């Protein structure tokens, strides 16, 4: 479970203070499907980065599964990220010199999982995601949809509790985008908490719960029944 209490995050840009998060409080239950929408510069990416432990709030409390993570050290944060959080990005962020399978195994590699187990787990995901014939291809030999599927496989290989997606379809055509959304929704149905940041209403509307961010504040939080 994720709980933000009165979280603030501000940056100083050119001598001016920008409030990217202004006293944000948010509770996300396990297994929820939540979209974060808002105009660009509204602070939705900062919110996502904070949820993903990439950004540390200036004030407020962030409880992840009951543990206050705002005071964790760098190593503890990295370990928590590795265990509990999966990321997917608009630009996929695959490492060009590694094959699809090696990219998928990267989090396990960083976590020190033995080679055999890495291969077993990545093979299972590759089969499940329909990438069987692409596993030895480098990212530049894959289509956009395939790349994002590799990125999703990489995000979930550590079996995290939360999947954070930052504009996951932003760099894909409609068909590929729809496939990707279906894939992550399928993962959500199997129990993964899913948070999608988007400014595409069509995608945002699909989520059961929709959070709207404006000027660093939560301007709306609605649930589809």
Partner 1 sequence: MRLFDVIGFALASLGSNRVRTALMLLAMSIGVAAVVLLTGIGNGARLYIVDQFSSLGTNLVIVIPGRTETASNTPATLVGETPRDLTLGDARALERGDAVRRLTPINIGELSISWRGKERRVPLVGSTAPILEIHHLRLDRGVFLPEDDLEIARPVCVIGSKVYRELFGQQNALGEMVKLGGFRCRVIGILGSEGRSLGLDTEELVIVPVAFAQMLLNTEGLFRILVEAKDLGGLARVKKHIVDTIAKRHYGEEDVTIITQDSVLATFDKILKVLTLTVAGIAGISLVVAGILIMNVMLMAVAQRTAEIGLCKALGAGELQIMALLVTEALLLSSIGGLLGLLLGFAGSWVAVQVYPTLQTTPPLWAIVAAMSTALSTGFVFSLLPARRAARLDPIQALARH
As given in the structure block, the two tokens for residue 57 are 């709030």
Radius of gyration of the chain from Cα atoms? 17
Q: Which of residues 43-72 bind partner 1 (CB under 8 A)?
A: 45, 49, 52, 54-55
Among 15, 66, 96, 191, binds partner 1 (CB under 8 A): 96
Is the Cβ of residue 54 or residue 178 nearer to partner 1 in the bound state?
54
Region of 87-95, 123-131, 141-149, 199-207 interacting with partner 1 (CB under 8 A)? 87-95
CA-to-CA dists, residue 88 to 5, 34, 194, angstroms? 25, 15, 11
Query: Strand order in 2-13's β-sheet?
Result: 16-28, 2-13, 59-64, 67-68
Residue 70 burial (CB count, 10 A):
17
Q: Give CA–CA dist 118/112, Å, rounded.
A: 9
Residue 208 CB, shortest distance to partner 1, in Å, is 26
The answer to whether the Cα torsion of 154, 164, 62, 15 is positive or negative is: positive
Could you tell me which stretch among 1-9, 57-65, 94-102, 185-193 binds partner 1 (CB under 8 A)?
94-102
Give the shortest CB-64-to-partner 1 separation in angstroms: 14
User: Which residues from 115-154 bind partner 1, rule CB under 8 A?
Assistant: 115, 154
Q: What is the H or E stretch that residue 150 is in?
A: helix 144-156
Query: Least separation, in Å, of the C-beta of 225 and partner 1?
Result: 35
Q: How far is the CB of 80 from partner 1 (least distance, A)?
A: 8
Residue 95 binds to partner 1 (criterion: CB under 8 A): yes
Residues touching partner 1: how many (CB under 8 A)? 31
Distance CA 90, CA 147 (A): 11
Instruction: Give contact residues for partner 1 (rule: CB under 8 A).
Output: 45, 49, 52, 54-55, 74-75, 77-79, 81-83, 87, 89, 91, 93, 95-98, 106-107, 109-112, 114-115, 154, 158
């Amino acid at each position: 479970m994720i709980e933000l209490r009165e979280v603030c995050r501000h940056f100083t840009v050119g001598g001016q203070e920008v409030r990217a998060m202004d006293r944000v409080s948010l509770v996300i239950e396990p297994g929820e499907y939540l979209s974060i929408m808002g105009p660009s510069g509204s602070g939705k990416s900062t919110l996502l980065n904070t949820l993903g432990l990439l950004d540390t709030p200036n004030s407020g409390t962030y409880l992840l599964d009951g543990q206050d993570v705002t005071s964790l050290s760098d190593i503890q944060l990295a370990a928590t990220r590795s265990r509990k959080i999966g990321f997917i990005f608009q630009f996929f962020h695959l490492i060009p010199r590694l094959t699809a399978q090696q990219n998928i195994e990267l989090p396990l590699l960083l976590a020190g999982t033995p080679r055999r187990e890495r291969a077993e787990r990545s093979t299972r995901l590759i089969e499940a995601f329909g990438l069987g014939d692409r596993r030895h291809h480098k990212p530049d030999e894959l289509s956009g949809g395939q790349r994002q599927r590799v990125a999703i496989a990489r995000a979930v290989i550590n079996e995290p509790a939360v999947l954070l997606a930052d504009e996951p379809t932003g760099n894909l055509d409609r068909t590929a985008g729809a496939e990707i959304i279906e894939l992550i929704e399928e993962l959500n149905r199997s129990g993964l908490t899913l948070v999608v940041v988007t400014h595409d209403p069509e995608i945002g509307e699909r989520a059961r719960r929709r959070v709207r961010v404006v000027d660093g504040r939560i301007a709306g939080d609605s649930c589809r029944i």
